[in-house]
Amino acid sequence: METIALKFATPPRTLRRLLESIKWDGPGVRDRCQRLIA
């Protein structure tokens, strides 16, 4: 994560907070991708 943050000149802690605040719906993302491909 630090490598990505440094590449975009963003403090690693800021990126970590952003990613922690996002609710990830793995099954929902999978289902959506499958619908797009089908």
The full set of domain ranges for the chain reads: 2-37
CA 32 – CA 20 distance, rounded (Å): 22
At residue 5, the pLDDT reads 84
pTM: 0.45
Nearest of 35, 15, 28 to residue 4 by alpha carbon: 15
pLDDT tens readout for residues 1-38: 788 888 888 888 888 888 889 888 999 999 999 999 98
